[in-house]
């Protein structure tokens, strides 16, 4: 553990703050609530927290429409509450990562209010104004351009019309945005998650995007002119130098509409520390892919693209997609959620756990009138929106799952009476105990953190098996995706089980018979 780097070798936990823990009974999670749960997070063994946005926001996109990047939304608490959270997290060896939404602002942000006030306002050029729209679309539906009556021009918004995109080409904007990072760095924040960073720069001549086949209007275009512009690279260099002028600070990008190669091109020296790899979740397909071959191919593609240049950020779940347990499990059975958690913790990359994933939380289902997310409201019933994966954390079986003394802002999953932290802490077979054990094994065995990865070629279908290799030792991960027993031939040597979902303690050689849905981690001895 001598060269342990928290952001590369650690495990990071994403909190959706309004749904984590409510300290004042208003039904809305807050910063003191998070602080009160730090002992739990330390018990889990995580190294960093990523907080989804905590800045003032009219909430058109649930916090991702920011009205002031250097303040705390009063619903979450005060700046003192924030400083206390950071100090208490640091005391426990936990780092704090903030979500920086800098591709766009809220339309209530003072910059946009000024910009839209008149055509000759000094901040007019801080956003993207045009006399006529081009073909660029909004991710959330329809054209990306909205007409502003007062000044008789259109402005561009890649997301909602209440989320105008800023003009990163304007040097004053660039300076102001970098100052936002400085502000939080000075307050002791350890890192940043960059929301849709690869869309910061648009084509200077606003050229149309070429067309392609797709479901939504946004998917019917090749996004060569509204994202992934080359001007991004010098900016990443500048940002990296800023981060590197403080000790151990970090950046992880959310590449939007990306490929493994594009994702890889944004990470490394003089670029971001890392970027998310999202391809497991198969958000573009309607049926989640759950088979050994899919994960093997995905990891091989990613490995090829990332090489040894950076360690990818891996996530199975987040606030934008259905939870992995909802995608892969039937009913309340956690066998496949344990396979998914093992993949997350043992493949080559830095794992990000989404709050509640460690207890196998499932998505809530909502009727049309309960839907709050603008994506669900627009695309219903084809796409039902993202509220499902944002329900309150399930702490115990008391009313409102111990999340709040008041009425929660979003309904709870009814399974909370059985599926909650308190119940799972006491159960050695629970998803929580299993996740804790995996995190502890990552800490104990360097091979699981920075070792190479070598996929085995099992003779039986539905088995995914790989070695994590380091000079200190080798770990073998065997996963049976099938509901039947499967054989796996082992590389030469004696293998000692470290963790299995089937009862095993004996050394094994030559061959192992994996039980249905079994996870088995072994070390060579």
Task: Tell me the site size for ligand GLC, rule CB under 6 A.
Answer: 9
Q: Select 126 or 354, whichever has its Cβ closest to ligand GLC.
A: 354
300-319 binders of ligand GLC (CB under 6 A): 319
Count of all residues that appear for the chain in the document: 525
236-255 binders of ligand GLC (CB under 6 A): 254
Q: Select 76 or 159, whichever has its Cβ closest to ligand GLC.
A: 159
Query: What is the rounded distance in angstroms from the CA atom of residue 523 to the CA atom of residue 455?
Result: 15
Judged by CB under 6 A, does residue 61 bind ligand GLC?
A: yes
Q: Which residues contact 241 (CB under 8 A, 6 or more apart)?
A: 270
Specify whether the CB–CB gap between 302 and 312 falls below 8 A: yes
| DSSP three-state, residue 92 | coil
Q: Is 195 a catalytic residue?
A: yes
Judged by CB under 6 A, does residue 343 bind ligand GLC?
A: no
Q: How far is the CB of 503 from ligand GLC (least distance, A)?
A: 41
In 351-418, where does DSSP find H-type helix?
374-379
- Beta-strand (E) ranges in 105-200? 129-130, 145-148, 153-156, 191-194
Q: Are strands 95-100 and 48-51 parallel, antiparallel or unpaired?
A: parallel
Q: Applying CB under 6 A, which of residues 320, 396, 425, 450 lies at the interface with ligand GLC?
A: 320
Query: What is the rounded distance in angstroms from the CA atom of residue 208 to the CA atom of residue 203?
Result: 9
| DSSP three-state, residue 248 | coil
Q: Give 382: exposed, middle or buried? Use CB within 10 Å, 0-12, 13-18, 19+.
A: exposed
Per the listing, tokens 């000079």 go with 471
**Catalytic-labelled residue, pool 99, 165, 190, 254:** 254
Q: Is 254 a catalytic residue?
A: yes
* Biggest CA-to-CA distance, the chain: 77
Q: How far is the CB of 352 from ligand GLC (least distance, A)?
A: 12
Q: At 343, list the tokens.
A: 């993949």
Judged by CB under 6 A, does residue 196 bind ligand GLC?
A: yes
**Catalytic-labelled residue, pool 22, 195, 228, 281:** 195
Judged by CB under 6 A, does residue 387 bind ligand GLC?
A: no
According to DSSP, the residues that pair with 345 across neighbouring strands are none
Q: Are strands 129-130 and 473-480 parallel, antiparallel or unpaired?
A: unpaired
> x/- contact string, 150-189, with ligand GLC (CB under 6 A)?
---------x------------------------------
- SS3 per residue for 272-283: ECEEEECHHHCC
Judged by CB under 6 A, does residue 101 bind ligand GLC?
A: yes
Q: Are strands 129-130 and 153-156 parallel, antiparallel or unpaired?
A: antiparallel
Read off the DSSP letter of residue 65: S
Q: Select 30 or 61, whichever has its Cβ closest to ligand GLC.
A: 61
Judged by CB under 6 A, does residue 277 bind ligand GLC?
A: no
According to DSSP, the residues that pair with 476 across neighbouring strands are 467, 522
Helices (H) and strands (E) in the chain, counts: 15, 18
> x/- contact string, 11-50, with ligand GLC (CB under 6 A)?
----------------------------------------
Q: Select 217 or 297, whichever has its Cβ closest to ligand GLC.
A: 217
Q: Select 104 or 486, whichever has its Cβ closest to ligand GLC.
A: 104
Q: Select 326 or 480, whichever has its Cβ closest to ligand GLC.
A: 326
Q: Select 61 or 518, whichever has its Cβ closest to ligand GLC.
A: 61
Judged by CB under 6 A, does residue 195 bind ligand GLC?
A: yes
Q: Applying CB under 6 A, which of residues 13, 28, 64, 445 lies at the interface with ligand GLC?
A: 64
Q: How far is the CB of 218 from ligand GLC (least distance, A)?
A: 12
Catalytic residues: 195, 254
Q: Which residues of the shown chain bind ligand GLC in the complex (CB under 6 A)?
A: 61, 64, 101, 159, 195-196, 254, 319-320
């Amino acid at each position: 553990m001598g060269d342990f780097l928290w952001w590369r070798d650690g495990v990071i936990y994403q909190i959706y703050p309004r749904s984590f823990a409510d300290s004042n009974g208003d039904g809305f999670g807050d910063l003191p609530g998070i602080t009160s749960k730090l002992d739990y997070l330390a018990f889990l063994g995580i190294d960093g927290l990523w907080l989804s946005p905590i800045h003032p926001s009219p909430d058109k996109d649930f916090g991702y429409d920011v009205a002031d990047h250097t303040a705390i939304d009063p619903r979450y608490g005060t700046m003192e509450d924030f400083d206390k959270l950071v100090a208490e997290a640091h005391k426990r060896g936990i780092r704090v990562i903030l979500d920086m939404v800098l591709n766009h602002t809220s339309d209530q942000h003072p910059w946009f209010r000024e910009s839209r006030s008149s055509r000759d306002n000094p901040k007019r050029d801080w956003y993207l104004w045009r006399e006529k729209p081009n073909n660029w679309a909004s991710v959330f539906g329809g054209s990306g351009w909205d007409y502003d009556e007062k000044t008789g021009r259109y402005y561009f918004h890649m997301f909602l019309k209440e989320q105008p995109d800023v003009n990163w080409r304007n040097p004053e904007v660039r300076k102001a945005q970098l100052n936002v990072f400085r502000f939080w760095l000075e307050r002791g924040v350890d890192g940043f998650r960059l929301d849709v960073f690869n869309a910061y720069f648009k084509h200077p001549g606003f050229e149309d995007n070429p067309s392609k086949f797709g479901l939504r209007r946004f998917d019917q275009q090749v996004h060569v002119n509204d994202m992934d512009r080359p001007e991004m690279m010098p900016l990443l260099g500048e940002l990296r130098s800023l981060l590197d002028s403080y000790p151990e600070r970090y950046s992880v990008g959310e590449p939007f509409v990306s490929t493994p190669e594009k994702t890889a091109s944004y990470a490394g020296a003089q670029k971001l520390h890392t970027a998310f790899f999202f391809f497991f979740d198969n958000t573009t397909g309607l049926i989640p892919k759950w088979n050994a071959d899919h994960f093997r191919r995905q990891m091989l593609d990613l490995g090829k693209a990332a090489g040894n240049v950076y360690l990818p950020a891996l996530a199975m779940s987040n606030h934008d997609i259905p939870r992995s347990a909802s995608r892969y499990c039937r009913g309340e059975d956690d066998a496949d959620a344990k396979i998914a958690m093992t993949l997350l913790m043992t493949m080559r990359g830095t794992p990000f756990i989404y709050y509640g994933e460690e207890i196998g939380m499932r998505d809530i289902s909502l009727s049309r009138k309960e839907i709050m997310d603008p994506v669900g409201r627009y695309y219903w019933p084809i796409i039902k929106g993202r509220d499902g994966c944002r329900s309150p954390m399930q702490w115990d079986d008391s009313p409102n799952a111990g999340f709040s003394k008041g009425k929660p802002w979003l309904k709870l999953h009814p399974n909370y009476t059985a599926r909650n932290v308190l119940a799972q802490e006491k159960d050695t077979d629970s998803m929580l105990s299993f996740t804790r054990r995996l995190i502890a094994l990552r800490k104990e065995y360097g091979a699981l953190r920075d070792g190479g990865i070598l996929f085995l070629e099992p003779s039986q279908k539905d088995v995914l098996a790989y070695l994590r290799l380091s000079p200190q030792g080798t770990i073998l991960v065997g996963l049976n995706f099938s509901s039947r027993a499967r054989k796996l031939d082992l590389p030469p040597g004696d293998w000692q089980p470290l963790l299995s979902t089937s009862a095993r303690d004996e050394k094994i050689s030559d061959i192992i018979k994996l039980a249905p849905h079994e996870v088995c981690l072994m070390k060579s001895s």
